[in-house]
């Protein structure tokens, strides 16, 4: 997911051309991080489908069957396409409006999706709130244009749940309003499916979009809120941080599991310590046009549509019911929760067969 963008500080005198030139000479840094993030996403998608329960067993399997890595390519390509569209939406819009900024720095990481997103460093302030709004909304809009068709395709090609669930640890991916609609329109079996890697990457892309559009601090949503509200954005940021803490607490109490709720509490703490106040633009007097305000409200509507209160839930191991499940007749399928991702291969599969 995207991390917050640092404050827009005015450029040091006589140094911007040198910084821009130096940045242009470091294009290989951005390309290297992009390739490392791609590799990290491939591995993150492949490892849960391999036999064994340790890194040694995973890498033993990959060393003897390196072709398994190809299984993670559809996920990685889809996820990187969405993230790259998002970041280039920011970058190209900023360049078109004479805002000096870097190319995106992608962040590979040993996470569920293999990345923490990307960050862009702005070296000059936007001229006014009109420019700030344009740069802020074009990232999520560009990422959404790529994510929607890919997610729909992935849902249409998602597999039906297996006839018998023989235990193992599962991850269940929650529904946003938008993902729920896409699942209803395109997924088979009333949406009770095991997500295709492309659909999983699409879910991650929509989730990244919602995180970036949280109207607080210097996230994309924070930029949009400042463009719409000016200095009043700081008060909104405080309420958003409080709201995230309350949401996390409610999810923990409602689900009796801390995983999805702690996510929002951690985000609230990060936003608070990063700084919830937005720096001013150079010219605060120029107001937004009606069209620009509409674009800002549309971005906040996208946030509501893509927001997932309980994004990822880790279900307990079902080995306790293994004996009953093994004796269950195969013609009475067990219904699984939607968007379930197996973290271990089912035990009724041969070592060479895996499913997600």
> For residue range 146-157, what is the model confidence (pLDDT) as tens digits?
999 999 999 999
Q: Looking at the predicted structure, is the pLDDT value of residue 159 above 60?
A: yes
What is the band of 251 on the pLDDT scale with cuts at 50, 70, 90?
A: confident
Q: How far is it, in rounded angstroms, from Cα 98 to Cα 149? A: 32
Q: Give 7 or 239, the one with higher predicted confidence.
A: 239
Sign of the torsion angle spanned by Cα atoms 248, 310, 140, 356: positive
The side-by-side arrangement of strands in the sheet containing 312-315 is 312-315, 170-173, 340-342
Report how far apart, in Å, the C-alpha atoms of 206 and of each of 211, 223, 253 are.
9, 19, 26
The candidate with the shortest Cα–Cα distance to 230, out of 294, 278, 274, is: 278
Domain locations along the chain: 22-161+169-316
Q: How far is it, in rounded angstroms, from Cα 218 to Cα 224? A: 9
Per-residue tokens: 181: 């609609």
Q: Residue 323 has what pLDDT?
A: 37
Q: Per-residue DSSP letters for 3-38? A: PPPPP-PPPPTTTHHHHHHHHHHTHHHHHHHHHHHH
DSSP state of 52: S
Per-residue tokens: 218: 């210097």
User: 299-341 pLDDT, tens per residue?
Assistant: 999 999 999 998 988 766 544 443 333 333 434 344 444 455 5
């Amino acid at each position: 997911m995207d991390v917050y963008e640092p404050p827009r500080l005015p450029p040091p005198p006589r140094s911007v051309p040198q910084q821009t030139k130096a940045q242009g000479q470091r294009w290989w840094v951005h390309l290297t991080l992009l390739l490392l993030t791609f590799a990290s996403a491939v591995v993150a998608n492949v490892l849960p489908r391999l036999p064994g329960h340790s890194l040694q067993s995973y890498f033993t399997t990959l060393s003897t069957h390196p072709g398994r890595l190809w299984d993670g390519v559809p996920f990685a390509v889809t996820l990187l396409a969405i993230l790259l569209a998002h970041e280039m939406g920011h970058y190209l819009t900023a360049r078109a409006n004479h805002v000096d900024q870097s190319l995106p720095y992608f962040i590979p990481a040993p996470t569920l999706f293999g990345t923490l997103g990307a960050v862009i460093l702005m070296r000059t302030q936007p001229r006014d709130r009109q420019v700030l709004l344009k740069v802020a909304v074009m990232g999520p809009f560009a990422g959404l244009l790529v994510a929607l068709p890919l997610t729909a395709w992935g849902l249409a090609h998602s597999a039906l749940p297996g006839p018998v669930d023989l235990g193992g640890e599962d991850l269940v991916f929650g529904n946003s309003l938008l993902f729920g609609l896409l699942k209803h329109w395109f997924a088979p079996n009333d949406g009770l499916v095991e997500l295709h890697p492309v659909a999983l990457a699409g879910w991650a892309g929509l989730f990244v979009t919602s995180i970036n559009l949280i109207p607080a601090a210097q996230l994309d949503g924070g930029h949009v809120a400042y463009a719409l509200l000016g200095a009043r954005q700081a008060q909104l940021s405080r309420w958003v941080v409080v709201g995230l803490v309350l949401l996390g607490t409610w999810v923990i109490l409602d689900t009796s599991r801390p995983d999805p709720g702690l996510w929002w509490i951690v985000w609230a703490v990060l936003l608070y310590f990063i700084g919830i106040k937005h720096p001013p633009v150079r010219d605060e007097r120029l107001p937004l046009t009606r069209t620009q305000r509409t674009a800002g409200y549309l971005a906040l509507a996208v946030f509501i549509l893509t927001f997932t209160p309980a994004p990822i839930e880790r279900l307990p191991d079902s080995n306790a019911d293994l004996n009953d499940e093994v004796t269950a007749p195969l013609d009475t399928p067990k219904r699984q929760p939607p968007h379930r991702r197996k973290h271990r291969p089912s035990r009724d599969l041969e070592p060479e067969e895996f499913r997600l």
